[in-house]
Amino acid sequence: MSKQAILRARNLTRYYAVNRGAFKPNATVKALNGASFDVFPGETLAIVGESGCGKSTLARVLTMIESPTSGTLEIEGNEIALVGGKPPDELRRHVQIVFQNPYGSLNPRKTVATMLEEPLKLNTDLDITQRRAAAEEMIAKVGLRPEHADRYPHMFSGGQRQRIAIARALMLNPKILILDEPVSALDLSIRAQILNLLSDLQDEFGLAYIFISHDLSVVRRIADDIMVMYFGKPIEVGPADKIFENPRHHYTKALFSATPVADPRRRRQRIRLVGEPPSPLSPPPGCAFAPRCANAQADCSKSEPPLVSRGSVEVACFHPLD
């Protein structure tokens, strides 16, 4: 019996018009240029890639912080209207986000309890006593103490603030949690605690996670599936164990080669990419990775490679690795 996706995204795009001055024509930056993927209950899809590849743009589109230019999004088989500036109610209830910097996403003038009760006040009919009880219950679930309810964000450590941000995201009982670099600003020991908390919450609530990160050691620990992005597009998608074991795209292999290995007996050849990612104002013809790829051939610069299934993995490359 095949799994039923809780979220299906198809060809999501986000373009920006750029005014380049009086003597240059306006340009279009394709920050997100055709992302398609499925997310399943109780599982984690990790989205990885260099800075500027479109990871955070995708997170903003999925939560309707920004409206997509085109594409479709389904939750539990129901298509969500991705138009206008206000997120539809279905999306707000089912999809929540946790940002990288917890202090920047928490209101310094409000207590923890007030921040956690706010989504319930706006979206439910619970009275003040019920909202307070729900907030205190969630505070306990994320590993904080009852007395923390009436404290302010500046009174907490970074790890505690991230627990508060996670608690707030869970107050409406969402089905999907988008985690945008949720542990990159934390110390290593605190990262492990937050990752353990996320794992426990996923098991308890059956949450689907979209985990956006550049830290592949964290991704290897938490991900069920991986989507590697480059220049606004997915270039390799599949089960995490298959991609880590045998990356098929040349960019994925180079990206993974830069990940430190804890075992000193295992040696990994570092693949150094030549040059920088192309300018979004003047994208190259064909494959966007071709100018940096040591294995590029003539056809790579003529047309853009589509995602093609190769076993359990999809790869956008005319000449993938074996």
Inter-residue contact 46 to 208 (CB < 8 Å): no
Whether the per-residue pLDDT at 158 is higher than 70: the answer is yes
If DSSP codes are grouped into helix, strand and coil, which group holds residue 230? strand
What does the pLDDT read at residue 265?
56
Residue range 63-77: average pLDDT?
Answer: 88
Residue range 28-49: average pLDDT?
Answer: 95
Inter-residue contact 138 to 167 (CB < 8 Å): yes
Percentage of the chain modeled with pLDDT above 90: 68
CA atoms within 13 A on the CB side of 81: 8
CA atoms within 13 A on the CB side of 270: 6
Whether the per-residue pLDDT at 91 is higher than 80: the answer is no
Residue range 21-33: average pLDDT?
Answer: 83
- Distance (Å, rounded) from C-alpha 154 to C-alpha 110? 10
- Distance (Å, rounded) from C-alpha 298 to C-alpha 7? 38
Bridge-partner residues for 98, per DSSP? 179
What does the pLDDT read at residue 102?
79
Rounded to two decimals, what is the model's pTM?
A: 0.92
Residue range 286-307: average pLDDT?
Answer: 93
Q: Report CA-CA distances (Å) from 11 to 61, 203, 212.
A: 12, 30, 18
Counts of helices then strands in the chain (DSSP H, E): 10, 12
Mean pLDDT computed over every residue of the chain: 90
Going by C-alpha positions, the residue among 41, 13, 45, 46 that lies closest to residue 214 is 46
| Residues whose CB falls within 8 Å of the CB of residue 232, separated by 6 or more in sequence, listed in order | 30, 31, 32, 33, 34, 53, 54, 57, 280
Residue range 167-185: average pLDDT?
Answer: 93
Domains and CATH numbers, the chain: 7-109+152-260+267-315 (3.40.50.300)
Whether the per-residue pLDDT at 268 is higher than 80: the answer is no
Phi and psi, residue 201, nearest 5°? -65, -35
- Distance (Å, rounded) from C-alpha 127 to C-alpha 151? 22
- Distance (Å, rounded) from C-alpha 224 to C-alpha 228? 13
